Amino acid sequence: MRVVFRLYAKFREQFGTSRVELDLEDGATVMDALGELFHGDVPKGLMVAVNDRLVEDLNTKLREGDVVDVMPPASGG
């Protein structure tokens, strides 16, 4: 299944793009997807949303066409 990642702030700069598409195995979880995206070295503390909803449980299963927002820890203020 194909999943779209939207990258924010430092991740956008690290990847040199704000959007990445990856093919994942059916039944892949958010954590599986992040592992693919970061080649196994998933940064700590990142914020993740799936289809514009924040996800706390990284074992949440993804579906074809899901949009996964990958965001650094908040640093506003």
Partner 1 sequence: MRASLVESIGSPDRIVEELKKASDRVGAVCLFIGVVRSTSPLGRVVRLEYEAHEKLAEETLRKILKEVCEAHGVIDGVIEHKVGRASVGEPVMCVAVASEHREEAFRAVRELVERVKAETPIWKKEVAEAGERWVEETRREPLLLRLRGLIEVEVHEPMTARELVERLGMKPGEVLVMRKRAVLRWDDLLGEGDLVKVVPPDLATAGG
Alpha helix positions (H), 2-61: 9-15, 30-37
Nearer to partner 1, 13 or 63 (CB): 13
Residue type, 10: K
Give the one residue of 4, 5, 8, 63 binding partner 1; rule: CB under 8 A. 8
Q: Which of residues 28-67 bind partner 1 (CB under 8 A)?
A: 44-45, 47, 49, 52, 54
CA dihedral 47, 53, 69, 40 (to 10 degrees): 60
Number of residues that bind partner 1 (CB under 8 A): 18
Nearest to 67 by CA among 50, 55, 48: 50
Biggest CA-to-CA distance, the chain = 39
Nearer to partner 1, 1 or 49 (CB): 49
Q: Given the rule CB under 8 A, which residues bind partner 1? A: 8-10, 13, 44-45, 47, 49, 52, 54, 69, 71-77
